[in-house]
Amino acid sequence: MQDRLYFRQLLSGRDFAVGDAIATQMVNFAYLIGDRETREAVVVDPAYAVGDLLDVLAADDMRLTGVLATHHHPDHVGGSMMGFTLAGLAELLAREPVPVHVNRAEAEWVRQVTGVSATDLTSHDHDDVVQVGEIPIRLLHTPGHTPGSQCFLLDGRLVAGDTLFLEGCGRTDFPGGDAEAMYHSLRALADLPGDPVVFPGHQYSPESSAALSSVRRDNFVYRPKSIEEWKRLFG
């Protein structure tokens, strides 16, 4: 399966949405995941210049068959943020009407923020699998940053959205955030077998990815060993 996997990590302001001040400042990662044999691919968290992401797929001779959304924040799916309107799901779907895979608990938030209709969204539960060609992508429900945040596990890689960064984790003080839920989500990720490589939702550290074992060792969010300790430090 290794040689069939198509996997690209793209940084906003550098690899797409070049020259866009917000995209450059926000340092979001979008991901393209596909099957090199069937040429099918999904995009994770399309925002800012969605046309650029489609252009990358076209240049690689890949065909978009779906979208995976980690959570509803506009820097990941488009919508209004800090007085700016960011492109995202709505603009992408206008060009390529494909299913958008969200966690069930996030669907309504995504709909409200992006303006897409409920029928555009495919709601999933924890541990559902989205198949891209012959590549299975496991959806992990990891609430905390938002109620329906989800991470994606495929072929030794963990696409972690704003749940787990290489340093730190997503904030829990935005609407729908939950510090206690975040503790449990981070623990669940730490316990994943096989030491997957963590691919975060933002470039908040010099490295763009790192083995889960090193994140578990170095990231301060893994210092608290109990929910009580976690709440004292991060609650």
What is the distance between the alpha carbons of residues 145 and 91, in angstroms, rounded to a whole number? 25
Ordered DSSP codes for 164-230: B-SSSB--S-STT--HHHHHHHHHHHHT-TT-PEEEESB--SSSS-EEHHHHHHH-GGG---SHHHH
Provide the minimum distance between the beta carbon of 201 and Fe ion in the complex, in angstroms, as a whole number. 7
**Least distance to Fe ion, CB of residue 27, Å:** 12
CB of 82 to Fe ion, least distance (A): 13
Backbone angle region of 157, left / alpha / beta, with phi > 0 → left and psi within -120 to 50 → alpha? beta
174 contact partners, CB below 8 Å, separation of at least 6? 73, 145, 146
Residue 212 contacts by C-beta under 8 Å, 6 or more apart in sequence?
158, 189, 190, 192, 195, 196, 197, 198
- What single-letter DSSP state applies at residue 33? E
Q: Which of 73, 101, 124, 141 binds Fe ion (CB under 5 A)?
A: 73
User: How far, in Å, CA of 121 to CA of 113, rounded?
Assistant: 13
User: Nearest approach, Cβ of 71 to Fe ion (angstroms)?
Assistant: 6
Stretch that binds Fe ion, among 20-28, 71-79, 102-110, 134-142 (CB under 5 A): 71-79
CB-wise, 73 or 216, nearer to Fe ion?
Answer: 73
By beta-carbon proximity to Fe ion, the closer residue of 73 and 124 is 73
Minimum Å distance from CB 104 to Fe ion? 18
Whichever of 60 and 108 has its CB closer to Fe ion, that residue is 108
In the complex, the smallest distance separating the C-beta of residue 206 from Fe ion, rounded to whole angstroms, is 21
For residue 91, the Cα-to-chain-centroid distance in whole angstroms is 18
Backbone Cα Rg of the chain: 17
User: 65 vs 103, which CB is nearer to Fe ion?
Assistant: 103
Site for Fe ion contains 106 (CB under 5 A): no
Q: 35 or 162: whose CB is closer to Fe ion?
A: 162
> Looking only at residues 156 through 175 of this chain, which bind Fe ion when binding is defined by CB under 5 A?
162
Of the ranges 28-36, 120-128, 134-142, 155-163, which one interacts with Fe ion (CB under 5 A)? 155-163
Taking the CB of residue 192, how many other CB atoms lie within 10 A of it?
Answer: 16
The site for Fe ion (CB under 5 A) is made up of: 73, 162
